[in-house]
Structure 1
Amino acid sequence: MTERLLADNAALKQAIADLRAEVAALKGVKGRPVIRPSGMEPKTEPKPQAGGKRGQKRRKTERLVIQEERIIKLDAPAGSRFKGYEDFVVQDLVVRPHVMRIRRERWVTPTGETLVAPMPAGITGHFGPELRRFVLLQHHQGQVTMPRLVSQLRAFGIDLSKRQLVRLLNTGTDTFRAEARAVLRTGLETAAWISVDDTGARHQRQNAFCTQVGNDHFTAFATTASKSRLNFLEVLRAGYGDYVINAHALAYLRQRALSGSLIARLAADPIRHFPDHAAWLQHLDGLGITGLTVSPDPVLIATEGVVWGAIKAHGLLPDTVILSDDAGQFAVDHHALCWVHAERLVHKLDTFTDQQYAAQQRVRALIWWFYADLKAYRRAPDRRRRSALRTRFDRLFRRRTGFATLDRLLDRLHANKDELLVVLDRPEVPLNTNGSERDLRPQVTKRKVSGGTQSDPGRDGRDAFAGLLLTCAKLGVSFWDYLGHRLGVSGVDAPDLPNLIRMRSAMA
């Protein structure tokens, strides 16, 4: 039955695709282009050396803890000799409801006051920590929707409603959100580089954007209504709400070409710190900046500057490279560009003649070759090789192919030379944003499976748990153990994630 339904579904999808292609042909328009991945990253990986020693094979059961030992008897013939046991390890899972009645003592004092013994730790409503641990794991790691999770729990014998499930997911998550914020702050304080990206999201039936920030040791997410540069800076200050005018803020304003007279007004005023947005806007109004009607908006640029000043004042991003896919809002401070996205521009270029196609493929081959040498340089940096690679970059992206569109694209890429060649001075910085795209995939899956969020606690909880889940994976911490320890399940331990990030960053 299931196979037939799947086959019918596939046939319907193909029929819909054929009808759309026919409609597009009748209208004289092109359909959605099929653009395959270029394959530059896997094709430039070094080939494994033949004949190398294979690692020692690990026994599959060596990490298992034996909870039960069962001896199976055998009726052997008379005269047989006992030769010990033949061990066979069996893994099983016990899933059953555990209903507990808590009887709290009640006392009445001589003054008539009624005293009731407190509830045990970890109880949320009428549900214990193990149930809540299972619910959080299934929903955030297993991507199980709430209706399916309710059905699953009821099949186990747990009596709860969808409303109660929502409370289990969203109530009492302040400690998790606080740790997710601490993870972001620690990551930004210690990171030599971060990779950033964003994707679409839905919140309260409105389009929103989920921004990812992370590296090899941590991941953090923030869903907001905008993907502007100011929004990105707000994400980078990791929950701090103040605004600061300092040397970093003034340098940012000069870089963003704010009027020199306005910068002088801000620099000359003795008030340099503002506790919140209202105090900052009041200060701008007092300086006569709020009423200006010029482009770009001086209030917006000034606000970006003081947010950047607050980031630096709190010790975040001390000398950190920000790696992105060339989206404009991410171009802040020490900025590096993704080579995969740069090559993709050449890969996606439309060609109309054999000569244009040959020129495109020739340039792609040269970029792949150069990219492979950059990867080799990362593994073994060398000063003389650095100079040679810079020269090769100029030679590659200043070449003339006779294909005007391709030549303009090469000029555009050459203008980004400093950001594409950050790796020559900072070999620890990756050459692509594949890590960010991998981190965003669970968020995209969650959006497709579960849709958007309706409440602010639900949105913040989804971002926090998604970041904590990936951070645990990067640090080698079991998310199941992490949830159990934070929810107070006895006998479970998990390290403090910010401290572990700090230790791993110091060792890198």
Structure 2
Amino acid sequence: DPPAAKKKPRGPKLDISQVSREEVLRMTPPPGSRFKGYKSCHVRDLVISAEVVHYRRECWLTPDGKMLLAPLPAGTIGSYGANLRRFCLMLHAQGQVTMERLTTLLNDVGVDVSKRQVVRLMTQGLDSFVAEDAAVLHAGLLSAPYITVDDTGARHARANFHTTQIGGAQFTNFRTTPSKSRLNFLSLLRGSYQDYILNDAAFDYLDRRRVDPALVAKIRSHEPRRFCNQVPFLEYLASKGIDIFDRQAIRVLAEAGIWGSIRHHGLIGDTVIVSDDAGQFRVGNHALCWVHSERLLQKLMPTTPRQVRLVETVRDLVWQFYRALKSVKRKPPPGLTAAFHKRFDRIFSLSTGYEDLDKLLARLFRRRDELLRVLERPGTPLHTNASENDLRSFVTKRKVSGGTMSREGRVARDTMLGLMKTCRKLGLSFWHYLGDRLGIKGEPIPPLAALVAAKS
């Protein structure tokens, strides 16, 4: 028989090597007692105290008349240090503490700070975090075998915005924009690039979208054309006799130009995009979420006992097939792939006599390739549960703190939530990550983008 696995010790005992101080507790024993040594006990505690540091900065006058001033410690903004800033960012992003409550907490501890100053600490001086968040997205789009995407509503400047989540096994990214169209989604997949490129990928995109061949012929060329941003791209379209005020035509041409840029920069090469069947996400190598597909069956409203039984039977068949499909861990042999296709066809080509159910089955049957993507790309998730889990923190943030008013606040919220989720997926402490990036001494944290690329 194989040896029994060693039982894992109970309790938080793995941090005893990190003892910060040692203290001997003494007592007065009864007369005649004998000393028998010490008994160790490790106690976890937290010390939170306000500190006001008086820095005397050296001033030097150079021979050429310039005044030099010794720099403040890294992470200092105005009159507030890096430790205070890390504490605020941690509580607000991961602890979901509102600005009002955070201000009250800091003042109760002994830090004399206003709510306006707390807002500044959370939204200003985050350029390095914003750059790292963009680098994480670029690394994920460049190397991830799959991404799951989803979106949710958001409020910004008293208007309705939309937050799109893009994530993989090793990273998460949030972007809040006024629109959730396919053009907007492609812009997010382009990352930090702003160019438009009319190349083979762009024209393939137009062919798949069945754009008027006469319109495509006006811009087709033998050599790829690159435009640094939207302005020269629109000027080129106008020079070819295309009405740039025709929103529908311009939108699909812009989508093609962005898709050409995405492929030119090597993003979303063979990456599978898993979504809930929202139209804006249906680009590239697309896969469909089984959970959302099955929910369509739940939404049916049968009116007779027979229709109820038919819906329940079909749902049972779908879940049995889903469980079999979930067992695929590596690329199956051709015979097994054919068996999965045959079984799928039998389920989704059923003719039950219940018109609404038959229409729904026919609709899902037409999406067979997207529902069976895992057969050709093992490891691809069959659902978007990871995206919904990532968005849950954003939704909680929205319910607790409401919307944002300034662009800096919107970017700060998206950036810090994305970095927090990425740290969790990489197995890193967000607290230690903030400390390292703000210049607080501790264990160094490598660039997150490098970790994402290495683990993808």
Using structure 1 for the length normalisation, give the TM-score. 0.85
The one-letter code sitting in structure 2 at the alignment partner of 1:229 is R
Corresponding residue of 2:444: 493
- Do residues 210 (structure 1) and 163 (structure 2) align? yes
Corresponding residue of 2:202: 249
2:8 counterpart (50, 56, 72): 56
The structure-2 alpha-carbon separation of the partners of 1:473 and 1:292, relative to structure 1 and needing over 3 Å to count, comes to closer
The structure-2 alpha-carbon separation of the partners of 1:158 and 1:279, relative to structure 1 and needing over 3 Å to count, comes to same
State the Cα deviation string for residues 347-399 of structure 1 (Å, max 9, x = none): 22112111111111111111111111011123684432221111000000111
Gaps of 5+ in 1: 1-51
- Distance of 1:449 and 1:54 partners within structure 2: 44
The one-letter code sitting in structure 2 at the alignment partner of 1:106 is C
- Distance of 2:192 and 2:14 partners within structure 1: 43
- Does the CA-based 8 Å contact 2:146-2:168 persist in structure 1? yes
The one-letter code sitting in structure 2 at the alignment partner of 1:488 is G
The structure-2 alpha-carbon separation of the partners of 1:79 and 1:499, relative to structure 1 and needing over 3 Å to count, comes to same
The structure-2 alpha-carbon separation of the partners of 1:404 and 1:81, relative to structure 1 and needing over 3 Å to count, comes to same
Bigger Cα displacement from structure 2, 360-369 vs 489-498 = 489-498
2:297 counterpart (346, 355, 359): 346
Aligned-pair RMSD on alpha carbons?
Answer: 2.0
- Distance of 2:73 and 2:238 partners within structure 1: 53
The structure-2 alpha-carbon separation of the partners of 1:414 and 1:80, relative to structure 1 and needing over 3 Å to count, comes to same
Query: How far has the Cα of 1:125 moved from its partner?
Result: 0.6
Corresponding residue of 1:49: none
SS in 2 for 1:377: coil
The one-letter code sitting in structure 2 at the alignment partner of 1:279 is P
The structure-2 alpha-carbon separation of the partners of 1:85 and 1:383, relative to structure 1 and needing over 3 Å to count, comes to farther
The residue correspondences of 1:31-46 to structure 2 (distance < 5 A) are none
Query: How far has the Cα of 1:223 moved from its partner?
Result: 0.5
- Do residues 462 (structure 1) and 402 (structure 2) align? no
- Distance of 1:84 and 1:289 partners within structure 2: 91
Corresponding residue of 1:398: 349
SS in 1 for 2:328: helix
The one-letter code sitting in structure 2 at the alignment partner of 1:448 is K
Bigger Cα displacement from structure 2, 268-277 vs 155-164 = 268-277
- Do residues 193 (structure 1) and 146 (structure 2) align? yes
- Distance of 2:38 and 2:268 partners within structure 1: 60
1:93 counterpart (42, 46, 55): 46
- Does the CA-based 8 Å contact 2:331-2:377 persist in structure 1? no
The structure-2 alpha-carbon separation of the partners of 1:237 and 1:402, relative to structure 1 and needing over 3 Å to count, comes to same
The structure-2 alpha-carbon separation of the partners of 1:391 and 1:58, relative to structure 1 and needing over 3 Å to count, comes to same
1:311 counterpart (262, 277, 298): 262
Bigger Cα displacement from structure 2, 256-265 vs 146-155 = 256-265
Corresponding residue of 2:184: 231
The structure-2 alpha-carbon separation of the partners of 1:206 and 1:55, relative to structure 1 and needing over 3 Å to count, comes to farther
- Distance of 2:61 and 2:360 partners within structure 1: 83
Query: How far has the Cα of 1:119 moved from its partner?
Result: 2.5
SS in 2 for 1:209: strand
The structure-2 alpha-carbon separation of the partners of 1:73 and 1:332, relative to structure 1 and needing over 3 Å to count, comes to same
- Distance of 1:115 and 1:303 partners within structure 2: 51
- Do residues 484 (structure 1) and 448 (structure 2) align? no
The structure-2 alpha-carbon separation of the partners of 1:407 and 1:165, relative to structure 1 and needing over 3 Å to count, comes to same
Query: How far has the Cα of 1:246 moved from its partner?
Result: 1.2
Corresponding residue of 1:450: 401
Corresponding residue of 1:155: 108
- Do residues 438 (structure 1) and 386 (structure 2) align? no
The structure-2 alpha-carbon separation of the partners of 1:406 and 1:474, relative to structure 1 and needing over 3 Å to count, comes to same
Query: How far has the Cα of 1:113 moved from its partner?
Result: 5.5
- Does the CA-based 8 Å contact 1:244-1:274 persist in structure 2? yes
Query: How far has the Cα of 1:461 moved from its partner?
Result: 1.2
- Distance of 2:38 and 2:169 partners within structure 1: 46
Query: How far has the Cα of 1:457 moved from its partner?
Result: 1.3
The structure-2 alpha-carbon separation of the partners of 1:106 and 1:276, relative to structure 1 and needing over 3 Å to count, comes to same
SS in 1 for 2:165: strand
- Distance of 1:423 and 1:101 partners within structure 2: 61
- Does the CA-based 8 Å contact 1:484-1:492 persist in structure 2? no
- Does the CA-based 8 Å contact 2:237-2:244 persist in structure 1? no
The residue correspondences of 1:322-471 to structure 2 (distance < 5 A) are 322-378=273-329, 381-471=332-422
Corresponding residue of 1:30: none
SS in 1 for 2:155: strand
- Distance of 2:330 and 2:62 partners within structure 1: 74
- Do residues 267 (structure 1) and 220 (structure 2) align? yes
2:20 counterpart (63, 67, 85): 67
Query: How far has the Cα of 1:79 moved from its partner?
Result: 6.7
SS in 1 for 2:56: coil
- Distance of 2:364 and 2:61 partners within structure 1: 80
Query: How far has the Cα of 1:116 moved from its partner?
Result: 3.2
The one-letter code sitting in structure 2 at the alignment partner of 1:358 is R
- Distance of 1:147 and 1:86 partners within structure 2: 45
The one-letter code sitting in structure 2 at the alignment partner of 1:334 is N
- Do residues 137 (structure 1) and 77 (structure 2) align? no
Query: How far has the Cα of 1:413 moved from its partner?
Result: 0.9
Query: How far has the Cα of 1:70 moved from its partner?
Result: 1.4
Bigger Cα displacement from structure 2, 380-389 vs 219-228 = 380-389
The structure-2 alpha-carbon separation of the partners of 1:361 and 1:338, relative to structure 1 and needing over 3 Å to count, comes to same
- Distance of 2:57 and 2:335 partners within structure 1: 76
Corresponding residue of 2:134: 181
1:258 counterpart (211, 221, 229): 211
- Distance of 2:333 and 2:401 partners within structure 1: 49
SS in 2 for 1:226: coil
The structure-2 alpha-carbon separation of the partners of 1:379 and 1:245, relative to structure 1 and needing over 3 Å to count, comes to closer
Give the share of equivalent positions with the same residue, in percent: 49
